[in-house]
């Protein structure tokens, strides 16, 4: 726990060795949590074996399995959130362009590292803590979408916003899941294009219902 009296070992500073081991554990955790085979659970012995470390070092960096799972999840979601916001901001001030840029960034990340994709979207993930984390993320994403739409279309407090955002979030997750596991066979850009079209179509419901209200 304490970092007092950490010697150099193997030519490496004590803090660096700890940080290195922590990184190895997070990477190994991502290997397991994002594994293609679904019946691998995140056990202390398992993640240490994957990391090439012994169990003693697990508790050097994490209090328990849950702490590691959270670290892995946040590691992935922080990156995806940051880059997606950047991509959306950098896109032209056009509805379709913004949505397309955001979706493209998400699809690129989960395609380049399928572990991340499965961690975020796999329908067969069994880790309870991560499933709850996902629910939180979905709520957050849905709420962001709702605000964005509200601002864009200048709606006040339309009650239809919330279920619609939830629908979009779930639909995207399901589509990417099916794409990642091979059920849907499309090129990367085709997935992005299709999802963009669906986003826009659902957004048009608001527009037309708003016109009806007016």
* Burial class of residue 78 (count of CB atoms within 10 Å of its CB; 0-12, 13-18, 19+): exposed
Written as six digits, the tokens of 139 are 């709520």
Interface with DNA (CB under 7 A), residue from 45, 132, 188, 189: 45
Helix (H, G, I), strand (E, B) or coil at 73: helix
Radius of gyration of the chain (CA): 21
SS3 state at 92: coil
What is the C-alpha to C-alpha distance for residues 13 and 163, in angstroms, rounded to an integer?
52
Decide whether 43 or 128 has the Cβ nearer to its own copies. 128
CB of 2 to its own copies, least distance (A): 33
Whole-angstrom Cα distance, residue 138 to residue 70?
16
Q: Which one among 1, 151, 159, 214 touches its own copies, defined by CB under 8 A? A: 159
Among 144, 166, 213, 214, binds its own copies (CB under 8 A): 166
Least gap, CB of 139 to its own copies (angstroms) = 6
Number of residues that bind DNA (CB under 7 A): 23
Site residues for its own copies per CB under 8 A:
38-39, 123-128, 131-132, 134-135, 138-139, 142, 159-160, 162-164, 166-175, 177-179, 181, 183-184, 186, 190-191, 194-195, 197-198, 201-202, 204-205, 209
């Amino acid at each position: 726990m304490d970092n007092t009296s950490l010697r150099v070992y193997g030519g490496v500073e004590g803090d660096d060795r700890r940080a290195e081991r922590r990184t190895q554990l997070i990477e190994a955790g991502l290997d397991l949590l994002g594994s293609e085979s679904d019946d691998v659970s995140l056990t202390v012995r398992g993640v240490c074996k994957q990391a090439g470390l012994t169990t003693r070092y697990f508790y050097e960096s994490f209090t328990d399995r849950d702490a590691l799972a959270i670290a892995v999840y946040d590691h992935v979601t922080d990156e995806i959130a940051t880059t997606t916001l950047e991509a959306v901001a950098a896109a032209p001030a056009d509805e379709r362009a913004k949505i397309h840029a955001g979706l493209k960034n998400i699809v690129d990340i989960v395609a380049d590292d399928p572990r991340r994709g499965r961690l975020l979207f796999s329908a067969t993930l069994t880790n309870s803590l991560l499933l709850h984390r996902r629910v939180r993320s979905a709520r957050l994403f849905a709420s962001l979408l709702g605000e964005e739409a509200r601002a864009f279309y200048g709606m006040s407090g339309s009650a239809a916003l919330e279920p619609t955002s939830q629908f979009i979030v779930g639909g995207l997750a399901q589509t990417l899941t099916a794409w990642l596991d091979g059920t849907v066979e499309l090129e990367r850009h085709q997935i992005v294009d299709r999802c963009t079209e669906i986003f826009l179509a659902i957004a048009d419901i608001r527009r037309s219902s708003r016109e009806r209200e007016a």
